[in-house]
Structure 1
């Protein structure tokens, strides 16, 4: 069986139309890294990124110095936002901006949203959403005297339209859910949930951190009001890379974000008295943009545009199908449970395996050069990145996990 599964991995790699993209990434030798299965947490760097950063430091920063602001840097949050919207988000120009961290942007948009629905005192969220989303909304509720309405979600699934319909009413100001659940990889029914929320007169906000760059997104078509996502996972922006925010054009001017800084002013360099927000998506900016941290996005968006998000998604599903095949053959017989959807229409870009005692296997896995992602209390997330992960790499990593599970038992 093992030989058959390895033969299958080699056949899938041979037939993979995206296999050539693996050579574009900086990858340690196999003696140091056997299998990287955490692309859903931090993407690998591109060789092109290293060249761009060196060029930026030496030629743009070092050569142009402060003149760089007038020669393009000031517009990067918007121009990169537009490019990201076109390549990965299904968003027309003028609705996406790159700035700040995910947490800060969630705060900006969520605060603006509840303030734009005065008299509505409820915010709906789910118990298994990523902690930042929950913590930020808890803080906003405390600030604004709002009631949090919690949907109890199954950690092996995600929020369902019927659950949303059961709690959303004419007192709801905002709902916030994840497009792809960080724990299980469950893909939410964004269109139907938006329909339910809008029928109640509320605003719908989505966290795209685990889908941007991996799962096709159509924010305009789906009728999304607000969205936030990070760029260091499938978009390979690097540790702490800036996040992005989407604000539907029809809401611009109506929503006013709460962190009023000079870059979001209608005339940043007038240095005048009183805050007047800039028109359009620029109003979401606050302080000086993190220009150096934006450099890697240029390289990855070029690559993603070339590969195509639909092709990336097709390979992602093949990769996670293969993870499930290996898990069923090697791990499930030893008490490991798959808690991610098997239905491809509901499965994002990673597969979560659950078993008591997985925490004890992290150190030996890392010592063996195998890097998955661990989520308390007992979950291992297997997150292959379609443009940098091969099927043989998955086979190698899960073979090590299998041997450790067998030894642990």
Structure 2
């Protein structure tokens, strides 16, 4: 595991800060600063519009897609980067519903990220064809996959508790019922091994600003299983998903392969930052990342529960059943988290009472874990959280 310590040096981690919120926003990779500078000063500046050809800006979505594909078990040419995760969810659900005409249910669970549910619900309502978004408890997903389900749409790792769905079992169940399987990998990509090919997943989407460290607002990605891609009609027919964008035809013809899932113009500077961030994963085996993540999270749970009896574990106790985060419930979780942040330990809060802590072996250490656990226990034991300034809700929690 010594390689993880050396990779910590790849990140700009502020002195005096213990950062356990990479599950929400990854820290700044040091190389990203120079990459952004070079993209602006050495490409955009002197090349101007010719940079689209000379600097291969137009190829970035596919090249980055392949780099992410390696981390999620997807073959080359099946993943593309661009737009936002919400846009990619919309594309995924629209394509799935169209591939299963006559079926009216999109099935999800109440542990799914709300934005995914909003996008699916809004799409189905706009179709006005009698479709329904059916939302059940995570444990009830499998029993609700019936032959009237067009698509099953789930977030692999629950954003609140870290609970992990059995990707292979649920995908197999969806396929047995004739449904399309959509996975959101926002809390999985870069955090734990994912094998989209081995699971035979149909469509997967995700973001790049969490464990992949692409920066605030970094673009999303979408994967489509290679044998399905020619069946997928892009509902969002953006010009860069066209077969010949610069022919400027008035009719839309889907591009070849995964390129048809492109929509808008690539955010070149942001993609350059993401490209630099992905360097941290070069030569890293995701099974090693996973093993170290479990060590750190198990250590955190043990030390918090030993030192503090007033919090309740909200994450699954079985490490194999949770992602790379640990969540604890506390009746004043928001205030306690603000007190932690004031002491230089950054996690985050999710309503109504969950304190979340993410563990990223590329830069988190056992020392980080022990320090965070000790301070959390002290804040709870002394009532340090019970101050007016810690209870004042901010725009982002």
TM-score (norm 2): 0.93
> Hey, what's the Cα distance between the residues in 1 that align with 2:142 and 2:333?
37
Aligned match of 1:191 in 157, 162, 168? 168
Cα offsets for 1:142-179 (capped at 9, x unmatched): 12230222212xxxxxx34xx23322222110010111
Equivalent-residue separation in structure 2 for 1:249 and 1:149 (angstroms): 28
Secondary structure at the aligned position of 2:320 is classed as coil
Match of 2:346 in 1: 371
Q: Which runs of 5+ in 1 are unaligned?
A: 1-14, 153-158
Cα deviation, 1:208-264, whole Å, max 9, x if unaligned, reads 000100100111111100011010011000001001101111111211121112101
Cross-structure match for 1:4: none
Q: How many angstroms does 1:16 deviate by?
A: 4.0
Quote the residue 2:59 is aligned against. 75
Question: Which residue pairs with 1:19 in the alignment?
Answer: 5
C-alpha displacement at 1:62, in angstroms?
1.3
Q: Hey, what does 1:400 align to over in structure 2? A: 375
Alpha-carbon distance between aligned partners in 1 of 2:202 and 2:164, rounded to the nearest angstrom: 18
- Evaluate the alpha carbon distance shift between residue 304 and residue 364 of structure 1 in structure 2; reply closer, same or farther with a 3 A threshold: same
Q: For 1:308 and 1:59, how far apart are their aligned partners in 2?
A: 33
* Partner of residue 3, structure 1: none
CA shift in 2, pair 1:340/1:16, >3 Å: farther
Q: Which moved more, 1:206-215 or 1:17-26?
A: 17-26
Name the structure 1 match of 2:394: none
Report the Cα distance in structure 2 between the residues aligned to 1:374 and 1:308, rounded to whole angstroms: 30
- Between 1:224-233 and 1:301-310, the stretch displaced more is 301-310
Contact 1:123/1:146 (<8 A) preserved: yes
Is 1:44–1:388's contact at 8 Å kept on the other side of the alignment? no
Match of 1:12 in 2: none
Q: 1:56 aligns with which of 39, 45, 51?
A: 39
1:91-130 equivalent positions in 2, closer than 5 A: 91-130=74-113
Aligned pairs for 1:212-223 (under 5 A) are: 212-223=189-200
Mapped partners of 1:171, 1:358: distance in 2? 41
The RMSD of aligned alpha carbons is: 1.4
Structure 2 residue aligned with 1:44: 27
Aligned to 2:120: 137
- Whose RCO is larger (CA < 8 A, sep 6+)? 1
Structure 2 residue aligned with 1:148, among 133, 151, 154? 133
TM-superposed deviation, 1:17: 3.9
Mapped to 2, the partners of 1:42 and 1:265 lie a distance apart of 32
Distance in 2 of aligned mates of 1:124 and 1:211: 20
CA displacement at 1:400 relative to structure 2: 1.6
Which deviates further from its counterpart, 396-405 or 232-241? 396-405
Residue 331 of structure 2 is aligned with which of 353, 356, 378? Answer: 356
Alignment match of 1:29 (pick from 2, 11, 15): 15
CA distance in 2, matches of 1:177, 1:39: 21
Identify the residue that residue 340 of structure 1 maps to in structure 2.
Answer: 315
Tell me if structure 1 keeps the 8 A contact 2:64–2:80. yes
Q: Matches of 1:218 and 1:165 in 2, distance apart?
A: 20
Aligned-partner SS, 2:32: helix
Is the contact between residue 108 and residue 141 of structure 2 (CA under 8 Å) also seen in structure 1? Answer: no
Q: Report the more deviating stretch, 232-241 or 53-62.
A: 53-62
TM-score (norm 1): 0.90
* SS at 1:142 equivalent: helix
Q: Which residue of 2 aligns with 1:84?
A: 68
Matched, 1:233 2:210: yes
* Cα displacement (A) at 1:376: 0.5
Task: Identify the range of structure 1 (91-100 vs 301-310) with the bigger mean alpha-carbon deviation.
Answer: 301-310
Which secondary structure does the structure 2 equivalent of 1:188 belong to?
Answer: coil
Work out the CA distance in 2 between the residues paired with 1:80 and 1:231: 10
Contact map agreement 2:44 2:51 (CA 8 A) in 1: yes
Q: Once the 2 structures are TM-superposed, how far is the Cα of residue 362 of structure 1 from its aligned partner?
A: 3.0
Q: Aligned residue for 2:392?
A: none
Once residues 43 and 330 of structure 1 are traced to their aligned partners in structure 2, the CA distance between those partners, rounded to angstroms, is 28
User: Distance in 1 between the 2:154 and 2:87 partners?
Assistant: 16
The size of the alignment, in residue pairs, is: 381
Mapped partners of 2:247, 2:321: distance in 1: 50
| Aligned 8 A contact 2:203 2:225 in 1 | yes
What is the CA-CA distance between 1:129 and the residue it aligns to? 1.1
